[in-house]
Amino acid sequence: MTTSVLFVCLGNICRSPMAEAALRQECARAGKTMIIDSAGIRDWHTGNPPDDRAQAVAARYGAPIDHLSARPVRVADFRTFDHIIAMDNDNLSNLKSMAPSDGSAKLSLFLDLLEGRNGQDVIDPYYEADEAFETTWADVVAGAKALIAKLS
Ligand code: 4NP
């Protein structure tokens, strides 16, 4: 069975679509197939493309995300995805409280994938300067590589 992964952040317009794009790119490089999606805890940006600054960084690294469209996490996600990976600790606690009793998805924190970053948040770049999106990109690429290694 193909492994399925859902990345979750607050708005689904910065961190989680960047993580989605990074994992797609790293899977392509590694010759792996995964089902990959992203969603937000909140529905504020439903139907919107990722933030322009996230689009710019992802395009610069060859992983365009302009076609993506934000959506909120759905209860069904807990039954259909193998892994739901939160970009920060608040997202993870929200996911834990939303999870239905028959949910089968494994919930985890993104930076727990990286040695030395256990328990850390992928910092939300939304309210930050453009440079913060470079840091986010570096984090999501490192996490994507670690996830592929872990699932291989
Ligand atoms: P994200 O960032 O959770 O990485 O997509 C945010 C996007 C939008 C907002 C907050 C964080 N917002 O307040 O609209």
> Residue 31 has what pLDDT?
97
CA dist 61 and 39 (Å) reads 22
**pLDDT value at residue 13:** 98
Say how many domains are in the chain: 1
State the CATH number of the domain containing residue 39. Answer: 3.40.50.2300
CA of 13 to the centre of ligand 1 (A): 6
| Average pLDDT of the residues of the chain | 98
Task: Confirm whether 9 is a catalytic residue.
Answer: yes
Q: Is 124 a catalytic residue?
A: yes
Report the Cα–Cα distance between both ends of the chain, in Å, rounded: 13
Rounded distance from Cα 17 to ligand 1 centre (Å): 11
Q: Which two tokens stand for residue 63?
A: 């992983």
Residue nearest to atom 14 of ligand 1 (CA): 11
pTM attached to this predicted model = 0.98
Indicate whether 1 pLDDT > 90: no
Atom of ligand 1 nearest to the CA of 10: 3
**DSSP string of 38-75, one letter each residue:** EEESS-TTTTPPPPHHHHHHHHHTT---TT----B--T
Q: Which burial class, exposed, middle or buried, applies to 70 when counting CB atoms under 10 A from its CB (0-12, 13-18, 19+)?
A: buried
Catalytic: which of 15, 37, 53, 77?
15
3-state DSSP assignment of residue 121: coil
Chain segment 99-148, per-residue pLDDT in tens = 999 999 999 999 999 999 999 999 999 999 999 999 999 999 999 999 99
Per-residue pLDDT at 126: 97
71: containing domain:
3-151
Does residue 17 contact residue 48 with C-beta atoms inside 8 Å?
Answer: no
- Alpha-carbon distance of 130 to 124, in angstroms, equals 12
